[in-house]
Amino acid sequence: MICQTDYNQDLNPDCHRGKLPQLQLNPEEEKLMDNTKPVRVLRMKDLPSKVGFQPSTIYQLVAEGKFPAPHKLYPGGKAAGWLESTIDSWLESAARHSKEVQ
């Protein structure tokens, strides 16, 4: 339910300043809201502390196709980075794979 503006209070008498009704979400929408987090771009300086590898190892793994490749932050620009969600997925996959191997 969405509250009407102050000039339309007569349309929704429950709508008062500071006393807005709760927005009703279905279970699917609630799940999406719980799982959303801001999009963050990681640069190479951020990766060693997150994945535990030095930049040289990360670049080697990228070349071997074993680590996600960075993307350009701006078309034609020099700056490159990784979406944090991509790195998080890679870490989860690597953890699952290591459990399977053991």
Over residues 25-60, the pLDDT tens digits come to 667 666 666 666 788 999 999 999 999 999 999 999
H or E element in which residue 90 lies:
helix 84-101
Average pLDDT of the chain?
A: 79
H or E element in which residue 47 lies:
helix 47-51
For residue 88, give the nearest of 55, 33, 39, 30 by alpha carbon. Answer: 39
Residue boundaries of the structural domains of the chain: 6-35, 41-101
Residue 53: per-residue pLDDT? 96
Paired residues of 16 in beta bridges: 19
The verdict on pTM exceeding 0.95 is: no
Q: Angle CA(76)–CA(43)–CA(87) in degrees, nearest 5?
A: 110
Asked if pLDDT for residue 4 goes beyond 80, the answer is: no
